[in-house]
Amino acid sequence: MPTEADETILGNPSMTEVVEDLSLRKARACYEAIQLDESLRDRYSAHVIIGADTIVYTDKILGKPEDAEDAYNMLDSYRGTYHYVVTGISLIDVDSGASDVMSEITKVWCVNYSDEDIHSYLSLAEPYDKAGAYAIQGYFGRYIDHIEGDYENVVGLPFYRIEEKLKPYL
């Protein structure tokens, strides 16, 4: 259910605090929309809302690139080194409003690719709607040396963490 949530980051939170807060804002926006509409409350009774947000972190938070220059700078910063992919996940029980918030961190190591490699990648549509300007499961995957952590987290959602938290609801 698409919702509108304020994604303004205030202060100097850690990478996990940022994604946990943003995921909870998104989940709460959905929860509030459901609570305001009796037909939605009935429809989604006994359901759990999942809100999520993902960032890439080097020495700062990287979201989706604003333009090709921003994407280039992001990709340039990963060459021959590592960065973190961090996802916050919030679960809210529609009936009780009880929530659970968690995050997953994966360390991603990149090979030392060239400027030409970056420019070639930027000619594709892939980097522009992804946090950190790449999709590990796409063309950019050839530049990943290895990861430490959950591959699904880098793709977009650490499902195994969610599955564990949802077991009591099944």
List, by residue number, the catalytic residues. Answer: 53
DSSP H helices, 8-166, are 15-35, 38-44, 68-78, 115-122, 151-155, 159-166
Task: Kindly report the number of other CB atoms within 10 A of residue 62's CB atom.
Answer: 22
In angstroms, rounded to a whole number, what is the distance separating the alpha carbons of residues 68 and 70?
5
User: Backbone dihedral region of 53: left (phi > 0), alpha (psi from -120 to 50 degrees) or beta?
Assistant: beta
* Long-range Cβ contact pairs of 134-139 (< 8 A, separation 24 or more): 134/74, 134/75, 136/108
d(C-alpha 26, C-alpha 4), whole Å:
7
What one-character DSSP code corresponds to residue 32? H
